[in-house]
Structure 1
Amino acid sequence: MDSHFKKRVLLVTLTQIAILVLSFFFYKKITLLSYINISFYMTATFLLLSLLLYTIQSGFYDAIGKSFNLVFSKDRKRKFTEIPSLSEMVTIDKRPLFFHGLVTGLFMLISLVAYYV
């Protein structure tokens, strides 16, 4: 088996264990409804973080980031073009967060179907 695939399976397993632990921590028991609730928050967190990284890396916040950097800089002779853009500085890969958000969301949807059927 590919080591990349093993790492993904391990991280999905750890995410599911974290959901069960958080379910027990917040609800004092592990039920299907508590699993659905916690996995919803985990899915939303993963997907929203991946979308935030996508918008940052697309250059949407570059002008705002450069402007704040220019205004709060101690060096007043600095030019706007010399300031590195935010999309160049944020190099985190958004695909793993998106993948884990989709997988966790899929497990949540399966649990929702099992709960209502």
Structure 2
Amino acid sequence: MKSRLKKKLIILSFTQIAIIIISYFYQHEISLLNYINISFLFTAGLLLFSLLLYTIHSGFYDAISRSFNLFFSKGGEKRNFEDIPRLSEMITVNEKPLLFHGLMNGLFMIIALLVYYF
């Protein structure tokens, strides 16, 4: 339990350091507004990717991916639609850590936004 929390905190600190480094290289200075802008991009990317993985795992794209696989399969052999693996079975990446890090980076961004406006 403690090792998972420690791992999450290490990854979260690396993302925060990456945001500060990118902010410095992007504008050649470290400011709160640059941190907020870069942090928004990180947060949006992590949350959108976790939502994409969630919809893939829910089976939303299974019929589409199987249809494309059946249509573009090469060779003279006849394949059944049921023999083609589902996309939700092939993609095994867990979306929960991405969602957690996206929400935590978003929380830090909102705190920085409140500090900036008040």
Whether TM-score is above 0.5 comes out as yes
* Cα offset, 1:27, TM superposition: 1.0
Q: Distance between the aligned counterparts of 1:68 and 1:29, measured in 2?
A: 48
Alignment of 1:73 with 2:90, yes or no, is: no
Q: Distance between the aligned counterparts of 1:28 and 1:80, measured in 2?
A: 55
Query: What one-letter code is carried by the residue in structure 2 that aligns with 1:8?
Result: K
Partner of 1:23: 23
Partner of 2:93: 92
Q: Distance between the aligned counterparts of 2:25 and 2:13, measured in 1?
A: 18
* Cα offset, 1:6, TM superposition: 0.6
Aligned length: 117
| Percent identity for Structure 1 against Structure 2 | 59
Q: Distance between the aligned counterparts of 1:63 and 1:25, measured in 2?
A: 44
Query: What one-letter code is carried by the residue in structure 2 that aligns with 1:86?
Result: L
* Cα offset, 1:101, TM superposition: 0.3
Partner of 1:111: 112
* Cα offset, 1:44, TM superposition: 0.2
Residues 33-83 of structure 1 deviation map (CA, whole Å, 9 limit, x = unaligned): 000000000000000000000000000000000011001101441111100
Q: Distance between the aligned counterparts of 1:94 and 1:25, measured in 2?
A: 30
Q: Which residues of 2 match residues 46-61 of structure 1 at below 5 A?
A: 46-61=46-61
Other structure's SS at 1:92 match? coil
* CA RMSD, Structure 1 to Structure 2 (Å): 0.9
The unaligned stretches of length 5 or more in structure 2 are none
Provide the TM-score with structure 2 as the length reference: 0.97
Query: What one-letter code is carried by the residue in structure 1 that aligns with 2:97?
Result: P
